[in-house]
Structure 1
Amino acid sequence: MTTQISGPRGLPLSGNLLAFRKDPLSFLTRAASEYGDVAHIRMGPSRHAYLISNPEYIKEILVAKQAHFKKAKGLQVAKLVVGEGILTNEGKDHLRQRRLMQPAFHRDRIAGYGDIMVEEAVNHIEAWKDGELLDIHHEMMRLTLAIITRTMFGANVSSNADEIGHAIEVGLQYISKKATSVLDIPLEVPTKGNRDFQQASELLDKTIYAIIEDRRNEPEGAEHTDLLAMLLAARDEEDGTGMSDKQVRDEVMTIFVAGHETTANTLSWTWYLLSQHPEVEARFHQELDEVLEGREPTVDDIPSLPYVNQIVQESMRLYPAAWMINREVVENVEIGGYHFKPGEILMMSQFVMHRDPRFYDEPDRFKPERFDGGELLKRNPQFAYFPFGGGPRICIGNNFALMESALLLATIGQRFRISRGENEPAAIPEPVVTLRPKNGMKMTIHKR
């Protein structure tokens, strides 16, 4: 750095690492509040990071000057789970994979998955009993896993969904710990964490490769409309080549892991927020009753459910599944008048930006109507609200996630009200790879 940037004081060797790992969300929120748009954070003896809390600076990093950066350690570590998929690869490889995958996530194509989402939701909640106490986060994880496997792979793994869900959780926890650890213990060292992770990886690989192999071995002429079929058939417009089994596996694994965890978290936090705000919940149910009149929702109904969509937007504002984006500088760069050099990390937190009082009145309050009419998003800078990231690496599945969230809320909300008992402790966000509720979320189901 050529310009001195202040930040929270830390310990002589570990710097701010311990304080950050103890409570990342509070630490980052305080750092932004006390030190402004750019705060210096030491992540160990020689790792220098900078929290960027200015939307225009974030736009420079993710859009205008994105070629000066690569994905930081956390997503490099994620390659252990998702390989060289669209989430983790860089440069020309990323551009090629995105070209190949983009058609599969076109808005018109994913609209065809809406009926499956609703059908899976109806099937899932048939087992719910009035007055039953459930871990709603576990329920949402199972439901979104069933949806992602059926819509993406044309396969149903509900029979071993718990086993697969546990394997994914082990992988995400491992990535999170390894990404923030001072000690980099090689995977070959037989620690308990390494052994658990290897077992989880083997299970996920076995599941994914089995689905790919079955599809490759099908007789010619077999027709499928799922994502796997599109990945296997995709050809690069520049050279006509397709994906190898390894490339397909990496993209499938990326979708498998990211495609249900994030939406499950959004839904869990949404049910929690609705339970804490009865006036919002009442208006939510009223809109469902008036628009749907007791029938199942469809994709065509989504534009007629504006309050449901506002609830989703506001839930993602307060509890964004992707709560932070990190970039490592690869060549000298100037951002907002500050100079950064290779090896330094720039941190951008959706959790922090989405609660910035410069852009949101009563920033900690759940107020879906703030998104009514879209005026807020037009008035604020682009990167004051970026739940799906931004720039050329914006989440490719954003439209899929928004559609799924709206349809599942509508389907479940028609039949049930979900409450959190007065004696239940407040839900605590746990920022692992995604922002999930710590220790699950016990809630009571009430038939409407």
Structure 2
Amino acid sequence: MHSSESVSLWAVVLGLVVLSSSVSRLLNHLYFNQHEPQSAILPFVLLVIEPPALLALIDGANSTSFNGLRLLYTYAIFLSSLSLSIILYRISPFHPLAQYPGPLISKATHLWDFWKAYGGRKYLYHSRLHEIYGPYVRTGPNEISVTDITAVTQILRHGGLDRGRFYDRVGQDHIPPSIMNALGEVHAAKRRVWDRALNPVAMRDYEPLIVKRTTQFVSRLAEHGTVDIGCWIDMLTLDIMGDLIFGGGFEMLRAGRDVNRVGERIRGFARGVNLLGQIPWIMKPVGFIPHVGQAVNEFDKFAQDLAIQRAKNGAAGGKDLWYYIADEAELEKEKPTLENAARDAFVAVIAASDTTAYTLTSAIWLLLSNPECYQRVQQEIDSVIANGDDPFDAEKHRELHYLSGCMFAKPATSPILPLILFWTRNETLRLHPALPSNGGTRQVRLEQPGRFIAGRYFPPGTSVSVATHSIHRNPDYFSHPNQFLPERWLPDSKLEKHEPSAFIPFSLGPANCAGQKFAMREMFGVLCVLFRSFEMKFADGFAGEEWPGSFKEIFIVARGPLMVTLDPRNHASI
């Protein structure tokens, strides 16, 4: 064959490749736009096999023209044309979310938001976007971030939007659902168990363990002059949850370190869950992602081993959380398997230890950063809890009105609810919510009709995220939103703007935090003991004002050391 004929043949083949690739990428785009893949496996296989299949159809029997160079060209043309088609559609006025403002790169690809999540700064990035674009921001090709509290309430409460795509993937194959990601009737059944485990009567059985560990905590702190208070609080809350769920075994306070790498395992699991939440279609081949699959699997294995140990050895004292989670009383129609109970149990360790520790540490940082507030809290505690009084007495806690503004604002007076703790309003959690991004997205499913929410239309396939951090610092809802002002929660507050409905650290609706009352009870007791026992200040040379810069959102919030100096107070006693 002459060279001119070869060139002509190559030109014809190239033209057919371009034409067929364009048709193929259009069909792929149209199909997956209407039928979202449940896994990355199918699209990956199609992307691999379609280009050589197209080339084989074009070349026919002319096997001599089927070579590596042509195959490479075919891949390049197919993938580039498919990518260009997708991007142009996403940024075009024809996209269903074209009316929502947002940065061009976010409209074109979710990889930018994934990169922000990978760096732990996604919640800060979204806050800046809301400052620029307003209460509705398009943060992905098919994702809207919302700070309008009217819309947020409709999204999260009963009859709102379903949980997002990530929750559809969890529970498949080797990953059993937990209270965190169960849906529908499964979630309702689990929530019934958790409500039973965390009612006021059940919580009274847990108090001796909390008192025991808090006493040990203060005793260990007294052995040191300068400590990373956040690290010691982490060990305290993990030891408490180890006792309450698995009958003990962590013993971090005694050792002064994370003996079994429990905290490390939690952070590894949280990072994996956080990243999987950004790309839920990767759930099935997750084992191929370095570190992520390993961290999730290691977490599951550790939880299973602890559950087996608890089932074998029994509780450390009376009824513990495992008693309810594993339904040892056999009150449910279907008793959970050991694997399922183990997953719920370790979710409880994360939910009740890390978030509590973060809130306690943030409260200490905020008070030390505002000495007037610190002195006022300490004076109030001293005046209410005298020597010999029980610092865990809930009746005494109700008299700590200023501390309740820092940690728990006093609820409206009600003869029907005289025993409600001051957990409903919280200045620390307003500034530093334990889950800055509210723990996951909601979705208008593709098979459902679009939804009107607060006068805005959300088309099928739209994912909706609630920007808790942004809502809590929104000047439309709170005067001086970035300042620590506990008095904003007091009845005689003179601040112009104060919208309690915009305070949602525990989320809303059926998926709100089941353990919030328990957490607040625990935190109030720990702070009362801590402030009565020590005078605290930032350690010499420690740049306290820079501590929030160490925060990284990994589903929960990872944070750097908080170095403080502790001086025992002579009159204090537990």
Alignment TM class, shorter chain as reference? 0.7 to 0.9
User: Contact conserved, 2:146 with 2:464, CA < 8 A, in 1?
Assistant: yes
Structure 1 position 153, deviation (Å): 3.9
- Provide, for residues 20-55 of structure 1, a one-character-per-residue CA deviation record: whole Å limited to 9, x for no partner: 33532331111212222211112xxxx421111111
The one of 263, 266, 275 equivalent to 2:368 is 275
Q: Which has the larger radius of gyration?
A: 2
State the match for 1:142 in structure 2.
Answer: 235
User: Contact conserved, 2:156 with 2:508, CA < 8 A, in 1?
Assistant: yes
Q: Does 1:17 align with 2:113?
A: yes
Q: Does 1:39 align with 2:137?
A: yes
In structure 2, what is the Cα distance between the partners aligned to 1:260 and 1:376?
35
In structure 1, what is the Cα distance between the partners aligned to 2:556 and 2:429?
12
Q: Does 1:7 align with 2:102?
A: yes
User: What SS does the aligned partner of 1:41 have?
Assistant: strand
User: What SS does the aligned partner of 1:324 have?
Assistant: coil
Q: Does 1:284 align with 2:377?
A: yes
User: What SS does the aligned partner of 2:206 have?
Assistant: helix
Per mean C-alpha deviation after superposition, the further-off stretch among 143-152 and 8-17 is 8-17
- Provide, for residues 325-378 of structure 1, a one-character-per-residue CA deviation record: whole Å limited to 9, x for no partner: 32122232221222223332111122111111112111111111211139899x
Letter in 2 for 1:418: M
Per mean C-alpha deviation after superposition, the further-off stretch among 5-14 and 407-416 is 5-14
Residues 76, 131 of structure 1: CA spacing in aligned structure 2 closer, same or farther, 3 A cutoff? same
Structure 1 position 225, deviation (Å): 1.6
User: What SS does the aligned partner of 1:188 have?
Assistant: helix
Residues 390, 235 of structure 1: CA spacing in aligned structure 2 closer, same or farther, 3 A cutoff? farther
Letter in 1 for 2:564: M
Residues 203, 442 of structure 1: CA spacing in aligned structure 2 closer, same or farther, 3 A cutoff? same
Aligned pairs (5 A) from 1:113-128: 113-128=206-221
TM-score, with length taken from structure 2 = 0.69
Letter in 2 for 1:166: E
Aligned pairs (5 A) from 1:347-386: 347-373=465-491, 383-386=501-504
Letter in 1 for 2:265: A
User: Contact conserved, 2:136 with 2:145, CA < 8 A, in 1?
Assistant: yes
In structure 2, stretches of 5+ residues that fail to align are 1-95, 253-257, 408-425, 570-574
In structure 2, what is the Cα distance between the partners aligned to 1:59 and 1:15?
29
Residues 117, 194 of structure 1: CA spacing in aligned structure 2 closer, same or farther, 3 A cutoff? same
The one of 14, 29, 49 equivalent to 2:143 is 49
In structure 1, what is the Cα distance between the partners aligned to 2:380 and 2:292?
47
Q: Does 1:251 align with 2:344?
A: yes
In structure 1, what is the Cα distance between the partners aligned to 2:492 and 2:528?
21
Structure 1 position 6, deviation (Å): 0.8
Residues 100, 129 of structure 1: CA spacing in aligned structure 2 closer, same or farther, 3 A cutoff? closer
User: Contact conserved, 1:118 with 1:297, CA < 8 A, in 2?
Assistant: no
The one of 532, 557, 567 equivalent to 1:435 is 557
User: What SS does the aligned partner of 2:307 have?
Assistant: helix
Aligned pairs (5 A) from 1:293-442: 293-295=386-388, 296-300=390-394, 301-312=396-407, 313-325=426-438, 326-330=441-445, 331=448, 332-373=450-491, 383-421=501-539, 423-425=541-543, 426-427=546-547, 428=549, 429-437=551-559, 439-442=560-563
- Provide, for residues 382-421 of structure 1, a one-character-per-residue CA deviation record: whole Å limited to 9, x for no partner: 6400111111111110100111111111111111133224
Residues 13, 82 of structure 1: CA spacing in aligned structure 2 closer, same or farther, 3 A cutoff? closer
Letter in 1 for 2:505: P
TM-score, with length taken from structure 1 = 0.87
User: What SS does the aligned partner of 2:479 have?
Assistant: coil
User: What SS does the aligned partner of 2:490 have?
Assistant: helix
Residues 84, 19 of structure 1: CA spacing in aligned structure 2 closer, same or farther, 3 A cutoff? closer
- Provide, for residues 151-205 of structure 1, a one-character-per-residue CA deviation record: whole Å limited to 9, x for no partner: 3443342166552222112211222233335994833337344335433432232
Aligned pairs (5 A) from 1:153-172: 153-158=246-251, 161-172=259-270
Per mean C-alpha deviation after superposition, the further-off stretch among 14-23 and 262-271 is 14-23
User: What SS does the aligned partner of 2:507 have?
Assistant: coil
User: What SS does the aligned partner of 1:440 have?
Assistant: coil
User: Contact conserved, 2:271 with 2:292, CA < 8 A, in 1?
Assistant: no
Q: Which structure has more RCO (C-alpha within 8 Å, separation ≥ 6)? A: 1
User: What SS does the aligned partner of 2:356 have?
Assistant: helix
In structure 2, what is the Cα distance between the partners aligned to 1:376 and 1:84?
46
Aligned pairs (5 A) from 1:173-192: 173-180=271-278, 184=282, 186-189=285-288, 191-192=290-291
Structure 1 position 212, deviation (Å): 2.3
User: What SS does the aligned partner of 1:417 have?
Assistant: strand
Residues 254, 366 of structure 1: CA spacing in aligned structure 2 closer, same or farther, 3 A cutoff? same
Give every structure 1 segment of 4 or more consecutive aligned residues whose post-TM-superposition deviation is greater than 6 Å.
Answer: 78-82, 374-377
Letter in 2 for 1:433: F
- Provide, for residues 85-127 of structure 1, a one-character-per-residue CA deviation record: whole Å limited to 9, x for no partner: 1111000111111122211111343144334323211112212
In structure 2, what is the Cα distance between the partners aligned to 1:261 and 1:311?
19
Residues 317, 385 of structure 1: CA spacing in aligned structure 2 closer, same or farther, 3 A cutoff? same
Residues 122, 223 of structure 1: CA spacing in aligned structure 2 closer, same or farther, 3 A cutoff? closer
User: Contact conserved, 1:294 with 1:414, CA < 8 A, in 2?
Assistant: no
Letter in 1 for 2:303: L
| Identity, % of aligned positions | 20
In structure 1, what is the Cα distance between the partners aligned to 2:481 and 2:174?
35
